């Protein structure tokens, strides 16, 4: 397995990792599209054709910016690690089921049966604005935190330390806030009320993950308890 240092010395390998991430994201986007259109039973669904390229573009831009600004993090996020917590694997598996389920329900609702009837166009526009802002928040957190991994683990192999810059000055888990709120607005992007139900379950799984990860960091990462005393809230200022 290549180390991050090896990757820096071998630029083509770093490019290959970025390309691998982009291809993986494109495949995920294709699967997402298939779920939407199959459950909708049609492809002449204008709002879906608005959503899909926006979803893909935000994901691609995230990968490219991380590749250029924080290549070590790109390496971290494209490799599996043996010390990933078992509870993280369980939570992520359930989360994926609810995530896919959200798009199936959205397709059935907004694409096929129109259970929600007339959907306010102003709410759709506002939801896209919020969605892009949440993507910016996640990117900001990734650029501020060199240990912003896809896996819940202590990165002792990378010399992990407490990060208190960027959005971490205000919240201990800003990315989880972005993900939770994304699942709230995601159905609204596609004009679906019923999609909120599985979307909220996906959001709840991320709240659980944030709680478990926060406990892990308290127990296993030096100086995290002191940081938590200064930054009191995990996800929602003034509440939790």
**Residue 135's CATH number:** 1.20.120.1630
Tell me the pLDDT of the chain (240 aa) as tens digits: 334 444 454 455 888 888 899 999 999 999 999 999 999 999 999 999 999 999 999 999 999 999 989 888 888 888 888 889 999 999 999 999 999 999 999 999 999 998 877 789 999 999 999 999 999 999 999 999 999 998 999 998 889 999 999 999 999 999 999 999 999 999 999 999 999 999 999 999 999 999 999 999 999 999 999 999 999 999 988 888
Residue 235 lies in a domain: no
In a domain? residue 31: yes
Quote the pLDDT of residue 17.
87
* pLDDT at position 47: 94
Contact predicate 194/116, CB 8 Å? yes
Separation of alpha carbons 153 and 104, rounded Å = 31
* Tally of domains in the chain: 1
Within-domain flag for 186: yes
172 inside domain:
yes
CA angle 141, 146, 151 (to 5 degrees): 85
Asked if the structure places residue 237 within a domain, the reply is: no
Q: Is residue 112 part of a domain?
A: yes
Does pTM top 0.75 for this prediction? yes
Residue 179 lies in a domain: yes
Q: What per-residue confidence (pLDDT) applies to 12?
A: 54
Tell me whether residue 238 is in a domain.
Answer: no
Owning domain of residue 121: 4-230
Structure confidence at residue 11 (pLDDT): 58
């Amino acid at each position: 397995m290549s180390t991050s240092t090896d990757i820096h010395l071998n630029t083509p390998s770093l490019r290959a990792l970025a390309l691998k991430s982009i291809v993986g994201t494109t495949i995920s986007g294709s699967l997402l599209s298939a779920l939407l259109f199959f459950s909708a039973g049609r492809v002449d669904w204008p709002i879906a054709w608005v959503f899909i390229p926006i979803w893909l573009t935000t994901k691609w831009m995230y990968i490219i910016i991380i590749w250029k600004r924080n290549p070590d993090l790109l390496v971290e996020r494209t490799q599996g690690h043996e010390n990933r917590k078992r509870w993280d694997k369980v939570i992520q598996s359930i989360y994926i089921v609810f995530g896919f389920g959200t798009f199936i329900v959205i397709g059935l609702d907004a694409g096929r049966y129109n259970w929600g009837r007339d959907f306010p166009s102003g709410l759709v526009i506002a939801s896209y604005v919020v969605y892009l802002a949440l993507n910016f928040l996640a990117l900001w957190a990734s650029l501020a935190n060199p240990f912003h991994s896809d896996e819940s683990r202590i990165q002792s192999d990378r010399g992990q330390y407490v990060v208190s810059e960027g959005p971490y000055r205000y919240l201990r888990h800003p990315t989880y806030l972005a993900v939770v709120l994304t699942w709230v607005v995601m159905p609204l992007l596609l004009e679906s009320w019923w999609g909120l139900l599985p979307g909220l379950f996906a959001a709840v799984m991320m709240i659980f993950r944030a709680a478990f990860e926060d406990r892990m960091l308290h127990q296993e990462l030096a100086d995290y308890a002191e940081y938590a005393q200064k930054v009191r809230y995990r996800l929602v200022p003034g509440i939790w």
